[in-house]
């Protein structure tokens, strides 16, 4: 098994972080992973994306030509990466910021109002984790216990107070995608 993911948005939306969450969760599950960030010099507000490769075998390259699943958090990311989803793959679109529909008909599409979901669970900065939940609902690459443990590890002790809010956003995003 090998799955390739791209998480794309603008700097500050937490795309690199949820990529780390997925990579860590899959490592905890005994999988081989790679995580490769890519961002412009502006960082916050500029474009930011990362690729995550998950495999039963060692990962030969972190580079992705065609992804199994892509999260597009803003319109420039959808414009750039829509063509990079494999036919039959998954495209998760942040419908709270993107008002256009996906043009392809050969991919599964989930429109996730991530900002609204995060606000409803009392975690207004958790839109990234809500959309990660939507992805996991359709592409269950790792179980939620491993994902929650990965979030705890990646947040670290200083940010542990955000764990419960992130758990709520994750589960709400999963529920919304069903």
CA–CA gap between residue 94 and residue 115 (Å, rounded): 8
CATH number, residue 129: 3.40.920.10
How many other β-carbons are positioned within 10 Å of the β-carbon of residue 124?
A: 12
With both helix axes pointing from N to C terminus, report the angle between 127-138 and 144-155 in degrees, rounded to the nearest 10.
150
Of 126, 127, 171, nearest to 147 by C-alpha is 171
Whether the predicted model's global pTM rises above the 0.85 cut: yes
Domain hosting 6: range is: 2-177
Predicted pLDDT at 95: 97
Predicted pLDDT at 21: 98
Structure tokens at 58: 């060692």
Helix (H) or strand (E) holding 126: none
Count: domains in the chain: 1
Handedness of CA 90, 22, 29, 2 (dihedral sign): positive
With both helix axes pointing from N to C terminus, report the angle between 15-28 and 127-138 in degrees, rounded to the nearest 10.
50
pLDDT in tens, the chain (178 residues): 999 999 999 988 999 999 999 999 999 999 999 999 997 665 556 679 999 999 999 998 889 999 999 999 999 999 999 999 999 999 999 999 999 999 999 999 999 999 999 999 999 999 999 999 999 999 999 999 999 999 999 998 898 889 999 999 999 999 999 8
DSSP 102: P
Predicted pLDDT at 160: 85
CA-only gyration radius of the chain, Å? 15
How many whole angstroms from its chain centre is CA 56? 20
CA–CA gap between residue 81 and residue 169 (Å, rounded): 25
Predicted pLDDT at 132: 98
């Amino acid at each position: 098994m090998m799955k390739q993911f791209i998480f794309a948005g603008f700097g500050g939306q937490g795309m690199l972080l949820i990529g780390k969450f997925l990579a860590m969760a899959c490592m905890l599950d005994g999988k081989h992973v790679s995580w490769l960030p890519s961002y412009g010099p502006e960082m916050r507000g500029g474009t930011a994306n990362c690729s995550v490769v998950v495999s039963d075998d060692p990962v030969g390259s972190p580079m992705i030509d065609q992804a199994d699943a892509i999260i597009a958090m803003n319109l420039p990311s959808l414009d750039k990466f829509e063509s990079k989803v494999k036919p039959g793959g998954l495209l998760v679109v942040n419908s709270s910021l993107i008002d256009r529909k996906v043009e392809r008909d050969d991919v599964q599409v989930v429109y996730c109002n991530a900002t609204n979901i995060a606000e409803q669970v009392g975690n207004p900065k958790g839109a990234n984790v809500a959309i990660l939940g939507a992805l996991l609902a359709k592409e269950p690459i790792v179980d939620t216990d491993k994902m929650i443990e990965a979030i705890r590890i990646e947040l670290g002790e200083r940010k542990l107070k955000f764990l419960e809010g992130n758990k709520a956003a994750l589960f709400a995003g999963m529920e919304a995608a069903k």
